Homo-oligomer: A and B are copies of this chain.
Amino acid sequence: MNLKELAAHLGISQTTVSRALNGYPDVAETTRRQVLEAARRFNYRPNPAARRLATGRAGTVAILFPVERNLLVDPHFFELLAGLAEMIARTEMELSLRATPPQEELETYRRLVNAGRVDGFVLSSPTLHDPRIAELTALGAPFVVHGRTQETLPYAYLDIDNADAFARATALLLDLGHTDVALLNGDAALTFARDREQGYRGALAARGLSAAPGRVTNAPMTEEVGYRVARAMLEAGERPTAFLASSVLLALGVYRAARDLGLSVGREVSVIAHDDALPFLKAETFDPPLATTLSPIRRAGYRIAEMLIERISGVDPKALQELWKVDVVFRASVAPPHGVRRGAAAVRAAGDDAAARRPAR
């Protein structure tokens, strides 16, 4: 069933049917109702290819990932993807997944935009100085960034308040009496890593403390890295009493390192990690359950899809900037440093500080 047939059936012109369907004003309400009704009855759906050709819009949003860059190593990326796909599925749009060699990335954006194959993009894992922002802005292509950069150009983004989250997590540890806290962070070029370090250092500074040398590491966020780094620190003479990790995978490695050295997490070693709520690796099932700064990345995907669609329909990027507060979830992986005796009251207070705050949606 196509437009022409539908129009013939109704005894009115294609033009009018098309306008009725697309909500144009100059069609009588009675006619519109008839058209809508008939369309529903015949289960009419406009041919997307024809519509694309006629309008020049692609009806597609894309996310591209550079093959062999860290992204692919990264389950977080796919959680985001899942969120995007779920939301996009509720619209008439498509979500196109595109692989690209990293050197050709900008070129790929350019091609897709110029060929009119894509109406908008989601940018994932932005770096501090991310050339994609300027490129896409110059191309005039709508996009939404998951995270932020140091670009001054106005652009749409959704980010979590990483600095605040890690400041609060650090403060929690300090309140419990820790003074030597290590930060296992992601790649230093990524904005979230910088923000988290900033939150961490800020919280230390607020107590007149500062990180001992070597206490902050930047590396891919894998179990293996977490293990190696934590093990090295724990074997050294002066060892940290608490770890802050930028991912649950890293924390998994920290747990392993502690166990290998006969140290018990939640006693000799405290651990807090940022939790993107990867469904196959749940912090609450760790042993002991892992305290986290929690922000489900899937939900970010939902919202980013919505924002992108708004952006495509012309909403100003400055009106599409969201910064979500993050929950701090207190669990048994965190305790006062071993040997330090504090009143139960102090511990309880720290727990209260961690009371759930819902994201700022």
Chain A residues at the B interface, C-beta cutoff of 8 Å: 45, 47-50, 52-53, 58, 60, 65, 67, 72-75, 78, 81-82, 85-86, 88-89, 94-100, 111, 115-117, 222-224, 227, 249, 252, 256, 259-260, 279-282, 285, 287
Contact = CB atoms under 8 A, between A and B. Distances in A.
Copies held by the complex: 2
Given A48-B115, A65-B85, A96 B94 contact: yes
Given A47-B53, A53-B49, A287-B260, A279 B99 contact: no
Contacts of A45: 111, 115
Contacts of A47: 53, 115-116
Contacts of A279: 72-73
B117 A48 contact: yes
Given A82-B99, A89-B98, A259-B259, 6 more contacts: A45-B111, A75-B280, A96-B96, A223-B252, A223-B281, A252-B252
Given A72-B279, A73-B279, A281-B222, A81 B78 contact: yes
Contacts of A58: 49
Contacts of A249: 280-281
B280 A222 contact: yes
A89 B100 contact: yes
B280 A223 contact: yes
Give the one of A94, A99, A249, A259 with max B CB within 10 A: A99
Contacts of A285: 223-224, 227
Contacts of A287: 227, 256, 260
A85 B73 contact: no
A86 B99 contact: yes
A98 B85 contact: yes
B224 A282 contact: yes
A126 to B, nearest CB: 20
Contacts of A224: 282, 285
